[in-house]
Structure 1
Amino acid sequence: MSRTLQSTRHETLRLFLIEKRKKAGLTQAAVAAKLKRYQSFVASIETGQRKVDAVQLIAFAEAIGFDPREAIKRMMASKDD
Structure 2
Amino acid sequence: MEKSIYSRRYSLFAQLLRAAREEAGFTQEEVAARLETTQTFISKCERGERRLDVVELCSWCEALGIPAGEFVAELEKKL
What TM-score range do you get, normalising by the shorter chain?
0.7 to 0.9
The one-letter code of the counterpart of 2:35 is L
Runs of 5+ unmatched residues, structure 2: none
Separation in structure 2 between the aligned mates of residue 71 and residue 26 of structure 1, nearest angstrom: 16
TM-score by length of 1: 0.85
Report which structure shows greater RCO (CA 8 Å, sep ≥6): 1
Gaps of 5+ in 1: none
- Kindly indicate which of the two structures has a greater share of residues assigned to helix: 2
TM-score when scaled to structure 2? 0.87
- The answer as to whether partners of 2:15 and 2:47 remain within 8 angstroms in 1 is no
Moved segments of 4+, more than 6 Å: none
Paired residue for 2:6? 6
Aligned residues: 78
C-alpha contact (below 8 Å) 2:16/2:75 kept by paired residues: no
Q: Percent identity?
A: 32
Contact 1:9 1:76 survives alignment (8 Å): no
Instruction: Report the aligned-residue RMSD.
Output: 1.3
